[in-house]
Amino acid sequence: MRSSQFFISTLKEAPNDAEIVSHQLMLRAGLIKRLAGGIYTWMPLGLRILRKVENILREEMNHAGAVELLMPAVQPGELWQESGRWEKYGPELLRLKDRHQRDFVVGPTHEEVITDIVRRDVKSYRQLPLHFYQIQTKFRDEIRPRFGVMRGREFLMKDGYSFHASFDDLQREYRNMFDTYTRIFTRLGLEFRAVAADTGSIGGTGSHEFHVLADSGEDALAYCSDSDYAANVELAEALAPTKPRGAAGESMRKVATPNQTRCEDVANYLGLPFEKTVKAIAVMHDEAFTLLLLRGDHTLNEIKTGKLPGLDPFRFATDAEIERFLGCQLGYIGPVGVDPAKVRIIADRTVAAMSDFICGANEAGFHLTGVNFGRDLPEPSIVADIRNVVAGDPSPDGKGVLELRRGIEVGHIFQLRTKYAEALNCSFLDENGQSQFMEMGCYGIGVTRIVGAAIEQCHDERGCIFPAAIAPFTVCIVPMGYAKSETVRTAADALYTDLQAADIDVLLDDRNERPGVLFADMELIGIPHRIVIGERGLKEGLFEYQGRRDTEAKMVPAREIIAFLK
């Protein structure tokens, strides 16, 4: 590509509202342009980066056996009614009506749509497993869109959904995706960490997040360098009864603090007869359970509609009342207690909350019958134990000390189990001709967020420093006097042709600008390799080479330049 034929539009100063460096640099380098809050155009230069990220994702997803499709951005509201998320998703869901007054949403995610496809087409265990993925535009009406494309409202996500005949098979695919994500982020050239987002071990029931490490990250991660222990502190903090200490905890979100709550209080809040207190309340937050009070077997719907077997009709609490009581946003209250594996997820993540609750119950003199750690519930898990950690605290697995870093969530894998299959009746006939719900996994990567995260992780005072794998161009040629000097022009054109022939992604900056301007732009854009061609060097058969991270340029024989770059 020649600059003169391309579109390079850089800015000296970033607009005032750009709070973090990646947002400032993306605007200054002309990678994106803002259209509205959280809504951006990807300019040609930025789009090149995005496409490189996408290609790596495609290659690795295909390699892992997933199959690409493309689902619609606009989805019928009915499907969301059916899954129950029409009510539960809240204001992040952009809803609209068509000319016939029918409800639609602009998809923030695609579990409903994909499950609808699979329930129609797949009937037998012989057609399973399946894994579909797409790279597609999502819309989430984020309460606080910020940091440019990092928390946009419209953004690009790679989302994959797998369907299985058994939990074992789901776990196999989950592990496959864990490994695939590890390869993807390694190839992208990012420093990242996978952390437990609920249970601590891969292969167990659960969820993992992949974070790019950067000081501006919104999440706090605790990990141990001497073992593979790593977790998102936010989860633990969600359960912490006291304020977290230490730098990592300072700006962490408070999710819920059910400190020393008494059974009676819960009953009162829910308007339930005390002796017949509902057995379980598990709160889903961002697709993950964060809290469980007591042990149980009822869904929110059952609780709220009063269809609880063996319970008298009573006044049901509103969402707002439950939220106020729990001190957190109510996402989803799910069926628990039926499947022991599900009970485990919840218990693992909520031991701190439960222990407070149970203490409270004991103090109140009402004892919860039959609830005991170790017997009815697992022992407190390592996730619960890392709340309030500071760097240097012993790792919960006893294998070293904890380090704390901030991270940007760029990927999330999740074992959904049969949640959507049950809600949308997605079943198959097993080997014995029995109808069963499919086990599902979902796997997301924030494609546009990755670009911001890469810059956040790697930049200097002059601009972006892109990993070679995703740089908009690999090499730039900066001729000193392209218009004026024929010698320079001939050499620059020849090198340009040679680099293209060698399949190196090259930008020839043939703009009629002062060298200082060209240098500053190429540095701002973050191209990894720069070759300067000037008359003086050419006399000796030399080009001037400087890597984006190098402090000094060096002269390289023109003949050797391609070998040098490779």
Using CB under 6 A, list all residues that contact ligand ATP.
109, 140, 142, 151-152, 155, 157, 286-287, 409-412, 444, 446, 448-449
Which residue's CB is nearer to ligand ATP, number 402 or number 410? 410
Contacts of 106 (CB under 8 A, 6+ apart): 73, 74, 75, 94, 96, 139
Which residue, 23 or 412, is less far from Mg ion as judged by CB? 412
Q: Which residue has the tokens 């469980």?
A: 292
**Among ligand ATP, Mg ion, none, what binds residue 448 when CB lies within 5 to 8 Å by partner kind?**
ligand ATP
Sign of CA dihedral 499, 63, 149, 452: negative
Residue 240, both tokens: 């912490």
Q: Which does 472 bind (CB under 5 to 8 A by kind): ligand ATP, Mg ion, none?
A: none
Beta carbon of residue 472, minimum distance to ligand ATP (angstroms, whole number):
20
- CB 286, min distance to ligand ATP, A: 5
Q: Do the bridges between strand 154-164 and strand 192-196 make them parallel or antiparallel, or are there none, so unpaired?
A: unpaired
Give which of Mg ion, ligand ATP, none residue 179 binds (C-beta under 5 to 8 Å, depending on kind): none
Measured from the CB atom, the residue of 159 and 173 that comes closer to Mg ion is: 159
CB of 37 to ligand ATP, least distance (A): 12
Whose CA is closest to 348, among 194, 204, 175?
Answer: 204
- In whole angstroms, the minimum distance from the beta carbon of 425 to Mg ion comes to 26
Given the complex with ligand ATP, which of 109 and 180 has the nearer CB atom?
109
Q: Which span sits near Mg ion by CB under 5 A: 103-111, 143-151, 274-282, 402-410?
A: 402-410
- How far apart are CB 48 and Mg ion at their closest, in Å? 27
Nearer to Mg ion, 349 or 412 (CB): 412
Query: Which residue lies nearer to ligand ATP by CB, 55 or 227?
Result: 55
What distances in angstroms separate CA 150 from CA 13, 38, 40, 385, 463, one per listed residue?
A: 20, 9, 11, 30, 18
- Is the CB of residue 559 less than 8 Å from the CB of residue 541? yes
**Taken in order 43, 49, 51, 53, is the CA torsion positive or negative?**
negative
Q: Out of ligand ATP, Mg ion, none, which partner does residue 230 contact, by CB within 5 to 8 A per kind?
A: none
Task: Report whether 42 contacts 32 (CB < 8 A).
Answer: yes
Pick between residue 187 and residue 262 the one whose CB is nearest to ligand ATP: 187
Residues 252 to 291 in contact with Mg ion, rule: CB under 5 A: 286
Tell me the H-state helices in 224-339.
233-239, 263-270, 300-305, 319-326
Which residue stretch of 64-72, 404-412, 445-453, 492-500 sits at the interface with Mg ion (rule: CB under 5 A)?
404-412
**Shortest separation between residue 154's beta carbon and ligand ATP, angstroms:** 8
In terms of CB distance, is 109 or 395 closer to ligand ATP?
109
Residue 142 contacts which entry, Mg ion, ligand ATP, none (Cβ below 5-8 A, type-dependent): ligand ATP
From Mg ion, ligand ATP, none, interface partner of 68 (C-beta below 5 to 8 A by class):
none
- Concatenate the DSSP letters of all residues of 79-140 into one string: HHHHHTHHHHSGGGSEEEE-TT--EEEE-S--HHHHHHHHHHH--BGGG--EEEEEEEEEE-
Verify binding: residue 412, Mg ion, rule CB under 5 A: yes
Element holding 478 (H helix, E strand): strand 475-479
Taking the complex as a whole, the smallest distance from the CB of residue 445 to ligand ATP amounts, in Å, to: 6
Residue type, 472: P
Strand partners, 406: 220
Cβ nearer to ligand ATP, comparing 296 with 411: 411
Cα gap 64→202, rounded to integer Å: 18
State which residue, 412 or 417, has the beta carbon closest to Mg ion: 412
The residue range among 343-351, 401-409, 529-537, 539-547 that interacts with Mg ion, by the rule CB under 5 A, is 401-409
Please give the C-alpha separations between residue 548 and each of 239, 325, 455, in angstroms, as whole numbers: 44, 53, 13
From the CB of 221, what's the least distance to Mg ion, in Å?
12
Q: How far is the CB of 544 from ligand ATP (least distance, A)?
A: 39
Q: Which residue is nearest to ligand ATP (CB)?
A: 446
Q: How far apart are CA 133 and CA 195, in angstroms?
A: 22
Q: How far apart are the first and last CA of the chain?
A: 19
Using CB under 5 A as the binding rule, whether residue 131 contacts Mg ion is answered as no
Pick the closer one to ligand ATP by CB: 32 or 561: 32
d(Cα 538, Cα 520) in Å, to the nearest integer? 23
What minimum distance in Å lies between the beta carbon of 446 and ligand ATP?
2
Dist CA 306 CA 324 (whole Å) = 21
Q: To the nearest whole angstrom, how small is the minimum distance from the Cβ of residue 409 to ligand ATP?
A: 4
Q: Are strands 39-42 and 74-76 parallel, antiparallel or unpaired?
A: unpaired
Strand partners, 97: 103
- 151 interacts with, out of Mg ion, ligand ATP, none, CB within 5 to 8 A per kind: ligand ATP
Q: Which stretches of the chain bind Mg ion, using CB under 5 A?
A: 286, 409, 412
